[in-house]
Amino acid sequence: MVGLVIVSHSAKLAEGVAEIAAQMAGRELKLVAAGGLQNGGVGTDAVRISNAIAQADSGDGVVILADLGSAILSAQTALEFLEEPARERVRIADAPIVEGAVSAAIQATIGSPLGEVADAAEQARTLRKL
């Protein structure tokens, strides 16, 4: 099953997004929050993200949902710390973090492959609320 990593500048926001997405997901889904800095501060840490990817990957790959700015740069940097086969199994979704995480969690839970889970996250961009 494809795993998910939630990257945010805030540890609380990353955990909160993971909490909401987990409500829609099966128990087997690996959903790892990678928010904030080690000292508890606001920011993103590529080493922490890289560890989260390793934790979320059960062999089927990982989709990353990120908030803004350096979250994307740090996620891209995190990929460089992975070995080659694992790196190819990671997709950074160009998606809103909450809606994208929920859509991806549902798609991953039904056992879809990496590409479909990432697409589900990105389709959340066009989701109308009103």
Distance of CA 96 to the CA centre of its chain: 11
Report in angstroms how near the CB of residue 87 gets to another protein at its nearest: 16
Residues 44-63 that bind another protein (CB under 8 A): 44-48
Q: Does 74 bind another protein (CB under 8 A)?
A: yes
C-alpha closest to that of 6 among 36, 28, 40, 38: 36
Residue 84, classified by CB atoms within 10 Å of its CB into exposed (0-12), middle (13-18) or buried (19+), is exposed
Which of 46/63 has CB closer to another protein? 46
Stretch binding another protein (CB under 8 A), from 23-31, 67-75, 86-94, 100-108: 67-75
Number of residues that bind another protein (CB under 8 A): 18
Phi-psi domain of 59 (left: phi exceeds 0; alpha: psi -120 through 50; beta: other): left
Compute the distance between CA of residue 71 and CA of residue 59 in angstroms, rounded to an integer: 24
Compute the distance between CA of residue 83 and CA of residue 25 in angstroms, rounded to an integer: 28
**Catalytic: which of 1, 7, 9, 53?**
9
Report in angstroms how near the CB of residue 73 gets to another protein at its nearest: 4
Stretch binding another protein (CB under 8 A), from 35-43, 56-64, 86-94, 120-128: 35-43
- Helix/strand/coil for 65: strand
Catalytic residues: 9
Residues that bind another protein (CB under 8 A): 9, 37-39, 41-48, 69-70, 73-74, 76-77
